[in-house]
Structure 1
Amino acid sequence: EASGPALVRYSGTDQKLIDLAVGNAEEIRAGHVFIIFLDGTFPINVLNRIKQVPEVCSIYCATANAVQVVIAETEKGRGILGVVDGISPQGVETETDIAERKSFLRKIGYKL
């Protein structure tokens, strides 16, 4: 929360995931940010629902990868500029890689 008492607000159904989200929000220390941790599903399965929330302006990432958050700090506070997600490409996918990727996406319910 970036106004009023400027508190980290939270809700959830799994204490471990709540603790992860709160801990990350405390570390980022930027207003108007929300963090969602999921277990047992892939981010792509909920991404469109989150995009439909009127208060959501931007989504920086939806990933199972470890990320780094790029933050700017001014006299007014802190804000997220972006997110570094995953590693740099190691090459170009082969036909086998393409088939495996499409199979995986179908398996998790993402049509391709």
Structure 2
Amino acid sequence: MTPDARDLTLVPLETPTGANLILGHAHFIKTAEDLYEAVVNSVPGVKFGIAFSEASGPRLIRSEGNDDALTRAAERELQKIACGHAFLIFLVGAYPINLLRDIRACVEVCAVHCATANPVTVVVLRDGDSGAILGVMDGLGPKGIETPGDARERRDFVRTIGYKRS
């Protein structure tokens, strides 16, 4: 293909209110089901929706989840990205840190591009019917360097929310 037939695109994701997301790359038709099991076994009671894009055969977006709105949102946003073998999980009632290890351990998962509650824009290279996630813009750039007071606030915060011992 000629260089001008390729298209670099920025795809801003619309995350449901109060949700976190995990965006990654995987392979194989059972990815959505295996990710479902990883989520429910990591954080019982979490609400979530998963979508996974096939890259060959019927090239469908496969989905699983226990919350219809989050599942539909994952399908919609993954369709905007339009890259084969990508997956997207929206979570409410848990943070990615609670299950990221189990997501990475899923045998189909090749990479996790981001896990965040921040605004996300996906950088996609299109070439005909193919697409590649080149990277993500996760949140905003830094405004400065942490001061000793900022460090105290950060350390206090992670203890307040229970991620470090007091």
Tell me, yes or no, whether TM beats 0.5: yes
Aligned residues: 112
Out of 107, 112, 132, the position equivalent to 1:59 is: 112
Report % sequence identity: 48
The CA distance in 1 between the partners of 2:161 and 2:74, in whole Å, is 24
For the pair 1:77 / 2:136, whether they are aligned, the reply is no
How far has the Cα of 1:93 moved from its partner? Answer: 1.3
Moved over 4 A (4+): none
64-73 vs 76-85, which moves further: 76-85
Unaligned runs of at least 5 residues, structure 1: none
The CA distance in 2 between the partners of 1:8 and 1:32, in whole Å, is 9
Match in the other structure for 1:8: 61
How far has the Cα of 1:96 moved from its partner? Answer: 2.2
Question: What TM-score, normalized to structure 1?
Answer: 0.90
Once the two structures are superposed, the pairs formed by residues 86-97 of structure 1 within 5 Å of their partners are 86-97=139-150
The CA distance in 2 between the partners of 1:30 and 1:44, in whole Å, is 25
* Cα distance change of structure 1 residues 89 and 109 upon mapping to structure 2, 3 Å threshold: same
Match in the other structure for 2:6: none
* Cα distance change of structure 1 residues 76 and 23 upon mapping to structure 2, 3 Å threshold: closer
What's the secondary structure of 1:57's corresponding residue?
Answer: strand
Question: What TM-score, normalized to structure 2?
Answer: 0.62
Out of 72, 77, 82, the position equivalent to 1:24 is: 77
Select the structure that is richer in strand: 2
